[in-house]
Amino acid sequence: MIESEQAARDYVAGFADEAAFERLETLISRMSEENERQNLVAKPTVGAVWQRHLADSAQLLAHVPRETMDEMANSGVWLDLGTGAGFPGLVIAALRPDWDVRLVESRRKRVEWLNEMCAAMALENCRVIGSRLEMVETFAASVISARAFAPMPRLVELSARFSTEGTLWLLPKGRSAAQDLNQLPESQRKLFHVEQSCTDSEAGIIVGRLRRKGRNQEKRRKA
C-alpha cells in the first residue's frame, strides 16, 4: 500500500520514462497554480498530489492486460469520462504518449484547463472533447475509465454505446466501489469485480468487460 508521497513517486516512476516524468511534473506545477483560481482538486489533497491523484491514476495501467495494451498501441482508444482536472485521463496520456486518449468533460473552465495542459505537456496523443457525453458521437473504445463520474447504473447507461465485446472498463470508485457495483442488475454485475486500490486501503477499482465474447469468437481466439 502506498502511504507517502515518496512511495507514490516511486510507484509512478515504474510506469514512466524521463520524458513522462517531466510531463507529470509540469502537470503538478500548473495544477497547483490553477487550483487557486478554480477548484480543480480538493485543497487538502494538493499536498499529497502524487498519492491521491497521480499514483491513483497510474495504477489503472496495472490492470490492463497485454492484449488490450497491444490494441491500444494499434489504433485503440482510451476514453476517459468526466475527466475534470485530468485524472485519470491526463496522467494516462502522459505515461503512454503513443496511445490515443480522449477526455470527455463538459465544464467550460475545465475544458480550457485540459486543453492548456495538453499543449503544455506536448500531448499530441490526447484530445479533449468539450461536451456532455450524451452529445458525443459514438465510437468504439478499447478502454473506458471514469473517476467519480456517475453511479454505475447511470454510467453504464450513458457509456454502453462506446463499449464492444473487448472493451475494458476501469472505474476508480473510492470507498463506495462494492456498494456502487451492487446497484447494477445481476446480469451486468457479474461481468465486473472490485480490485483493491493501492493508494487507499478502503478504496476499490471496478474492473470488467460489459459484454462477454460469443462462443464463436472464443473458439477463434483459442485456435
Distance from chain centroid for Cα 28: 17
CATH class held by domain 5-222: alpha beta
pTM value?
0.91
Mean pLDDT by 10 residues, the chain (223 residues): 95 96 94 84 83 96 96 96 94 96 96 96 96 96 93 95 96 92 95 96 94 47 39
CA distances from 135 to 55, 104, 110, 131, 177 (A): 31, 10, 17, 6, 27
Q: Which of 153, 163, 110, 103 is nearest to 133 (CA)?
A: 103
Beta pairing partners, 101? 78, 126
CB 149 within 8 A of CB 158: no
Q: Which of 140, 149, 172 is nearest to 58 (CA)?
A: 172
Q: What residue spans define the domains of the chain?
A: 5-222
Residue 163 confidence (pLDDT): 96
**What number of other Cβ atoms are within 10 A of residue 21's Cβ?**
16
Residue 64 confidence (pLDDT): 97
Q: Which three cell numbers stand for residue 215?
A: 462462443
pLDDT tens digits for range 34-70: 888 888 888 878 788 999 999 999 999 999 999 999 9
Burial class of residue 29 in the structure, from the number of CB atoms within 10 Å of its CB (0-12 exposed, 13-18 middle, 19+ buried): exposed
DSSP H stretches of helix in 74-192: 89-95, 108-120, 152-159, 177-181, 186-189
